[in-house]
Amino acid sequence: MAASRATPPLLKDLNERTVLEAIRASAPISRAEISRRVGISKPTVSQALQSLLAAGLVRETERGGDGPSYGATFFEPVPEAAFVLGLDLGARFVRGAVCDVRGEIRARQDVELTARTAAASLDAIESLSRSLLEAADATPELVDSVVLGVPGAVVAGRISLAENVTGLEGDGFRAELAARIDMPVTIENDINLAALGERWRGIARGVDDFVFLSIGTGLGAGLVLRGELHRGHNGSAGELDYIRVGLTEDIDPCAEAVSALAQARGAPAPHDPPAIFAAARAGDRIARDVVDEECRRIALHIVPLAAVTDVGLVVLGGGIGANGDLLYDGIRARLQAWLPSPPRVEASSLGDAAVFTGGLAVGLRAARENVFVNRAR
């Protein structure tokens, strides 16, 4: 008897979840079309719709397009059922966006850091979070989660290998941030989030095996295998700086190393990477030699990744990685010569939005589940 009594609520949940996913995938959609698509009878669909309407997860809407509706009622998800904040803590800025439960971005803003410290980061993130919610006309109570990308390895909320922001390492930052903004906070490595952002809405959409390689102030990689983020045993997969351990040759492709190389080779000042790439575009021979060496260094970091994982795509991001017009031909030529099956090399299509876009993707997956589980009965 106990098993018999438990079955109807389980079936009811299953039917409601199935109907809700059909509406999310194909809104605006009618009752009859839902029934046809998911293989559930119209009376059962009607019952599920009543529960979802009462819970505030779906609502009636106008039919899309110009065809006849034959008096049918159409349904769509309620976008304001939950919100997600995606944030990116960088060396100079905190960037962020807020989206509703449909995945539509309601607001995007950046805040400049006053210092590379945990204290300054907390102040900037708190200010940005409040500003984003105000711009999106949302309240903290409706935020399912805040997903923050940080420049370091993250395991169970504990941050390590975060050298760009003083005081960030340890396990207290997430708790202090959650207390200050009074919203649930999830912390993830920024490059991992960038990879997920590219897979959700960028150049890697639909690609199951690829690497996101970020080259700028620092160097890091986000590895996606079989459609899922690969964090590794210690949560530090993609820490490419360690590839150079034991090597006597300098193959560092990051900004400081590029500047040092340009100065050593006698390139015209200034020696910062933007100036070097600008000089190379203008035809300066020494700057072009520096860029060619940069191509070689980047390719040397891709080779071990490609050789071990056999990924089909490498997405380049970061301040240096964005200079595709000067880098990609040199990188691709070397990979073609060094590997039997070289991966495709492409530019990030999201740019500096990649990290917080990945944060939105992570938060949205959880939010859609949570609004269903916690719906009003």
Number of domain units in the chain:
3
- Same-domain status, 211 and 313: yes
- Same-domain status, 173 and 99: yes
Q: Is the peptide bond before 28 cis (omega within 30 degrees of 0)?
A: yes
Query: What pLDDT, on the 0 to 100 scale, is given for residue 5?
Result: 47
Query: What pLDDT, on the 0 to 100 scale, is given for residue 104?
Result: 96
- Same-domain status, 106 and 48: no
DSSP 167: T
Across 2-6, 199-203, 287-291, least confident range: 2-6
Q: What is the pLDDT of residues 83-117, one digit of tens each?
A: 999 999 998 899 999 999 999 999 999 999 999 99
Name 159's bridge partners. Answer: 154, 170
Residue 66 has pLDDT above 50, yes or no: yes
Rounded CA separation 196/204 (Å): 9
Q: Grade residue 1 by pLDDT with cuts at 50, 70 and 90.
A: very low
Query: What pLDDT, on the 0 to 100 scale, is given for residue 16?
Result: 94
- Same-domain status, 332 and 271: yes
Q: List the one residue out of 196, 213, 214, 192 whose CA is nearest residue 205.
A: 196
- Same-domain status, 64 and 87: no
Query: What pLDDT, on the 0 to 100 scale, is given for residue 70?
Result: 60
Query: What pLDDT, on the 0 to 100 scale, is given for residue 153?
Result: 86
One-letter amino acid at 298 equals I
Alpha-helical segments (H) within the chain: 2-26, 31-38, 42-54, 118-135, 173-181, 190-201, 255-264, 273-281, 285-309, 318-321, 324-338, 354-373
- Tell me which residue range forms the domain holding 301: 203-349
Give the strand pairing for 158-160 and 153-155: antiparallel
Q: What is the pLDDT of residues 164-215, one digit of tens each?
A: 889 999 989 999 999 999 999 999 999 999 999 999 999 999 999 999 999 9
Q: What is the pLDDT of residues 132-173, one digit of tens each?
A: 999 999 999 999 999 999 998 888 888 988 888 899 999 899
Q: What CATH number corresponds to the domain at position 263?
A: 3.30.420.40
- Same-domain status, 40 and 114: no
Rounded CA separation 309/211 (Å): 9
Say if 198 falls within a structural domain: no
User: Of all helices (H) and strands (E), which one includes residue 315?
Assistant: strand 313-317
Give the strand pairing for 210-215 and 313-317: parallel
Residue 369 has pLDDT above 50, yes or no: yes
CA angle 212, 215, 236 (to 5 degrees): 60
Rounded CA separation 284/87 (Å): 39
Query: What pLDDT, on the 0 to 100 scale, is given for residue 63?
Result: 78
Q: What CATH number corresponds to the domain at position 34?
A: 1.10.10.10
Name 225's bridge partners. Answer: 228
Query: What pLDDT, on the 0 to 100 scale, is given for residue 6?
Result: 44
User: How many other C-beta atoms are found inside a 10 Å radius of the C-beta of residue 227?
Assistant: 10
- Same-domain status, 208 and 345: yes
- Same-domain status, 231 and 266: yes
- Same-domain status, 222 and 326: yes
- Same-domain status, 163 and 219: no
Beta-strand runs (E) in 73-123: 74-77, 83-89, 93-100, 105-112
Query: What pLDDT, on the 0 to 100 scale, is given for residue 155?
Result: 86
Which residue is it, tokens 């000067």? 326
